[in-house]
Chains A and B, each alone.
Chain A
Amino acid sequence: MDNTVLNSENLSKWYGNILGISEISLKISPGIQGLLGPNGAGKSTFLKIASGQLRQNLGKITIFGEEVYNNHSLFSKIGFCPENDSYYKGVTGWEFMIFLAQLHGFKGKKAKDMAGDALERVGMTENAEKKIGAFSLGMRQRLKVASSIVNNPDLLILDEPLRGVDPLWRVKIIKLIREFEKQGKTVIVSSHILPEIEAMTNNITLIHQGKIFAHGDIQEIRGLIDTHPHQVSLQCDKPRLAAEKLIHNDFVLKVHLDDDENKIVVETNNREKFFDSLMQIIAENALEVEEMTSPDDNLQAVFDYLIGR
């Protein structure tokens, strides 16, 4: 059974002569989908089209099988947390949340309950009676997250939801996002900070210059970089000897020797062969290894390789 929640086909958007996104085709199913990319990559443009704020120039996008733009009734099932630090200055957090709950069709006590529940989930109950203008950036960000969940949506779209949030609340918001996943709902979350996404999901889409660079599980994406150079840093008692032994291998592209720190940084295009060989060299030459790290053995590396940094 096709359980696609969001389906975009060749979605393109321009701002005059400037490309926003180009031919983005994506199918998103229940679960957490991370959108990664540097600032200006096109993540927000995609999310703005998905949330009906912008209209695509080309292509098609459907959510729950329905067209998005100017389809206001669809938004009873969607929650959106915008990227901008935008708020109504003269109102309290409580007034704002009640207003949003009412816009989602909740009346009287139900509206108050929905607003109260959303505020509680982001820890804003105590500050709800204060004017939003008096909130810190982190509090405003939490209020935005609350605004996106006030209708208990089936699809939650979060554009940089952790920006400005303190570490404690980052963890709590990530937990909240995962709760949505556990309920069988769909969350699309964007960030330009890789560890943030990594903490939420393995299912990512890399966007750069308006195009999808890679899409899928982080492990699958990692497979894509096997042919790309990979760096390994080795700190040992005989770095010059280790460098001499390694440089003759055809899978070693480059060796940088740092005598001062007893360290070498090796660039290889075959990690498997490299590590086999390295283990052999260490054993045969009785090298005392103090530290071996792979500076790019994280999501950032995948990202950097794929966008060609």
Chain B
Amino acid sequence: MLNGYNIKTLFSFFFKTGIRSRRAKLFFLVSLIPTVIFVIVRVVALMNPDRHFSLPGLYLQVGGVFYFQLFIQFLCLFYGSAVISDELDNKTLVYLTTSPVSRASILTGKFLAHWVISIIIIIGGIVISFVTANFSILLQVEYLEKLGLLAGVAFLAISAYSALFTFLGTLMKKSILVGLFFIFGWESIVQFFPGTTQKLTVNHYIKSLLPANLSGTRSILSFRLQSSPVPEAILTLVFISLIFLCLAAFLFYKKEFLLSDQG
């Protein structure tokens, strides 16, 4: 079913067109918002040497919430659901489905392209903002480890959300609306429920992997969090990624896609 050459062809085409698109540039600029905040804080700190600013502490409050509570979900929603819905909106799906390439290869190739673009934008933003926030102590091994941890968690989060939203985009036309409801409704609320209910959100497993305390004070991200063990959280995120990607591929294989104008 899966053909390496076809997946590579699809990946190259959609990665090249995706990375140079306006959407990618806009999202990359948005990913730098925490960096801009940290630069401003640094300038303010320089102008007020008598006041104490803890930039590493601020990182989790601003960067943590921005990336792990909002931006990853939002970006993955757009890139994940666009894997199929862009083809339907632009009516270009016909060029792919009338080529001698299996539907599983089509979905996998394009998914990988969007997944890598998401990783570049998000992890790029995390690294740049982390460096800006922790510039003076960057070379300390402890902080480099934290950066590695954040990048790793972001990688797993991007994989899980991308697969989930790719499935959603394959399943329905209004996937963005449903996805926004999922992010700002289900994920935002249920993750704070006490007990095991919070395990029904993807965010629960992401937060379980994040350092609860980067700054020495309790973070908003770990509010009411009843963490899952790290292995369980990693395996669950990997499982979510694989299962939703497989479901999306199966659905794409089975589903008949009707373009708007039938003659």
Compute how far the CA of A105 lies from the CA of B9 in the bound complex, rounded to whole angstroms. Answer: 10
Compute how far the CA of A70 lies from the CA of B105 in the bound complex, rounded to whole angstroms. Answer: 13
Residues of A within 8 A of B17 (CB): 88, 90-91
Name the residue of chain B whose CB is nearest to the CB of A13.
Answer: B262
User: Are A52 and B98 touching (Cβ within 8 A)?
Assistant: yes
Residues of A within 8 A of B92 (CB): 86-88
Q: What does DSSP make chain B's interface, helix, strand, loop or mixed?
A: loop
Name the residue of chain B whose CB is nearest to the CB of A144.
Answer: B95
With both chains docked as a complex, state the minimum distance between the C-beta of A172 and any C-beta of chain B, in angstroms: 23
User: Are B261 and A90 touching (Cβ within 8 A)?
Assistant: no
How many interface residues does chain B have, given as a range?
A: 20 to 34
Which residue, of B20, B93, B256, has the highest number of chain A Cβ atoms within 10 A? B256
Indicate whether A103 sits within 8 Å of B21 (C-beta atoms), given known contacts A82-B94, A86-B90.
no
With both chains docked as a complex, state the minimum distance between the C-beta of A55 and any C-beta of chain B, in angstroms: 5
With both chains docked as a complex, state the minimum distance between the C-beta of A104 and any C-beta of chain B, in angstroms: 6
User: Are B263 and A105 touching (Cβ within 8 A)?
Assistant: no
With both chains docked as a complex, state the minimum distance between the C-beta of B250 and any C-beta of chain A, in angstroms: 12
- The reply on B91 being an interface residue by CB < 8 A is yes
Compute how far the CA of A147 lies from the CA of B256 in the bound complex, rounded to whole angstroms. Answer: 23
User: Are B6 and A103 touching (Cβ within 8 A)?
Assistant: yes
Indicate whether A80 sits within 8 Å of B98 (C-beta atoms), given known contacts A90-B21, A103-B6.
yes
* Those of B47-94 within 8 Å (CB) of chain A: 90-94
* Those of B223-263 within 8 Å (CB) of chain A: 253, 256-259, 261-263
With both chains docked as a complex, state the minimum distance between the C-beta of B22 and any C-beta of chain A, in angstroms: 9
User: Are B101 and A83 touching (Cβ within 8 A)?
Assistant: no
Residues of B within 8 A of A53 (CB): 93-94, 97-98, 257
Please give the residue numbers on chain A whose beta carbons come within 8 Å of chain B beta carbons, in ascending order: 15, 20, 39-45, 48, 51-55, 70, 72-76, 78, 80, 82-84, 86-91, 95, 99-100, 102-105, 107, 147
- Which 6 residue pairs of A and B lie closest in terms of their CB atoms, listed nearest first? A44-B263, A86-B91, A103-B99, A76-B100, A80-B98, A102-B9
